Amino acid sequence: MTLLAATHLDASLGSRKVLHDISLSLAAGHLVALVGPNGAGKTTLLRVLAGLIPSSGDIQIGGDALSTLSLRERAKRFAYLPQGHMVHWPLPARDIVALGRYPHGATDPARLSQTDIEAVLRAMQAVDVTEFADRRVTELSGGERSRVALARVLAVEAPVILADEPTASLDPRHQIDVMQKLRNVADTGVLVVVVTHDLGLAARFADHVLVLSEGRLAAQGAPGEALSENVLAEVFRVRAYRAEYQREAVIVPWADV
């Protein structure tokens, strides 16, 4: 069932046109990997889908036109995790996660309703950060901070999560951990869209892959189809090693073409 749909999207940054005629239809309960070379427009597309950047074309979320929704309603429908997810305030991790309840009217982490408290706890449990609840987030490691940032996104309890390179700068263990947690969230019925440069993670965890090249959708579909040999050669200029391990796809970029 389609939850998020876009038709003929175009977007510009300043005088430069970044997205060209993007159309897509994404279903609830899917993890969607958005991949492409540097400068392809991935972050711009993610922000356009959330209504953070003006665009032409049509975006529908849950059957409603995005343009008709208030800012607060958009914030309830989309949970957005930007690149870097840096936190500079020495706040307890619990308070950072509680910021995810802001769209629901929780403006003070010290004064949460019971509903908000329970949502924050569920989010922290989902990514295993309850042990950090009272620790200042600035004292946590990079991997720990990334999990707290993900918990903040989950606390929104939005039907759509948009995560921009959530595994960037993480070691392999934490990359797998974050992707597995996002996979688990998608399995609860949430639509999760993840920007990633790791084609192996995309092939392993995604139901659907969007391949962006120079602001256009070069391919989309199941990982094996969207990340075909032809697509990898034409879009990424690489050849890849392909295999299957424990019934999961393995794609490792191996050489240029």
Q: Residue 257 has what pLDDT?
A: 87
Q: Which residues pair with 195 in a beta bridge?
A: 34, 164
Q: What pLDDT, on a 0 to 100 scale, did the predictor assign at position 117?
A: 95
- Residues of the domain holding 124: 79-158
Answer yes or no: is 177 within a domain: no
Find the mean pLDDT for residues 12-24: 94
Q: Is residue 97 part of a domain?
A: yes
CB 148 within 8 A of CB 92: no
94 located within any domain: yes
> In the prediction, which pLDDT does 85 show?
66
Its pTM stands at 0.93
Mean pLDDT of the chain: 93
Q: What average pLDDT score do residues 160-178 get? A: 89
Is there a contact between 189 and 29 (Cβ–Cβ < 8 Å)? yes
**Of all helices (H) and strands (E), which one includes residue 76?**
helix 71-77
pLDDT at 146: 86
**H-helix or E-strand containing 26?**
strand 16-27
115-146: pLDDT as tens digits: 999 999 999 998 889 999 999 999 998 888 88
* Ramachandran assignment for 112, one of left (phi > 0), alpha (psi -120 to 50 degrees), beta (any other): beta
In a domain, 227, yes or no: no
29: left (phi over 0), alpha (psi -120 to 50) or beta: left
Q: Each residue of 31-58: pLDDT tens digit?
A: 999 999 999 999 999 999 999 999 999 9
- Max distance between CA atoms of the chain, in angstroms, equals 57
Residue 171: Cβ within 10 Å count: 11
Q: 111 in a domain, yes or no?
A: yes
Mean pLDDT of the region 59-70: 95
Percent of the chain with pLDDT over 90: 81
Distance CA 50, CA 46 (A): 7
Digit-coded pLDDT (tens) for 193-251: 999 999 999 999 999 999 999 999 999 999 999 999 999 999 999 999 999 898 888 99
- Evaluate whether residue 66 is within a structural domain: no
Is residue 250 assigned to a domain?
A: no
Q: Residue with structure tokens 């990359």?
A: 175
Which pLDDT score is estimated for 61?
A: 96
Q: What is the pLDDT of residue 143?
A: 81
Residue 149 lies in a domain: yes
Residue 171: the pLDDT is 85
Count of structural domains within the chain: 1
Q: Which amino acid would we find at residue 93?
A: A
Tell me the backbone φ, ψ of residue 90, rounded to 5 degrees: -80, 60
The CA distance from 233 to 256, in Å, is: 8
